[in-house]
């Protein structure tokens, strides 16, 4: 779900009229920021490999006590889906589209949100036994 929402949001932002950013409240703007990860074939292979390692590790960890909790699983799923969103852009040799601008933080996208929120959710659940 994180992967699908990320790709959908990036697609919508790229075709949205430019005046959309002017409608947003001052504390939150929609801007179009493309960041290229100059990933040649070797680096793309490494990125895919790291993503696969994360997926396999999440599956393996889910067998450990506490790691099977729904919030941990949800958090890991969000993080892996978010990472997949940015990985898909890189694999297609497209720029990673960032569009959420808070003004006081670097511009980011839904994939970045899913990664951070997912890992925090998993960590808090593991620590608090929720």
Domain boundaries along the sequence of the chain: 2-9+39-128
Average pLDDT rounded to a whole number, residues 18-35:
61
Decide if pLDDT at 79 tops 60: yes
Distant-in-sequence, close-in-space partners of 125: CB < 8 Å, separation ≥ 6: 69, 71, 72, 75
Please identify every residue annotated as catalytic: 98, 112
How open is the CA angle 91-93-95, to the nearest 5 degrees?
110
Is pTM beyond 0.85 here? no
What is the C-alpha separation between 87 and 111, in angstroms, rounded?
A: 10
Arithmetic mean of pLDDT over the chain? 82
């Amino acid at each position: 779900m994180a992967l699908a929402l990320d790709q959908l949001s990036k697609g919508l932002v790229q075709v949205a009229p430019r005046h959309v950013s002017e409608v947003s409240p001052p504390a939150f703007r929609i801007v179009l920021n493309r960041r290229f990860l100059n990933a040649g074939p070797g680096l793309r292979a490494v990125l895919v490999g790291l993503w696969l390692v994360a997926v396999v590790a999440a599956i393996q960890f889910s067998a450990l006590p506490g790691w099977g909790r729904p919030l941990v699983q949800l958090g890991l799923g969000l993080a892996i889906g978010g990472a997949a969103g940015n990985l898909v852009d890189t694999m297609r040799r497209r720029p990673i589209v960032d569009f959420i601008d808070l003004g006081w933080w670097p511009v980011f996208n839904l994939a970045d949100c899913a990664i951070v929120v997912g890992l925090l959710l998993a960590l808090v659940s593991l620590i608090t036994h929720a």
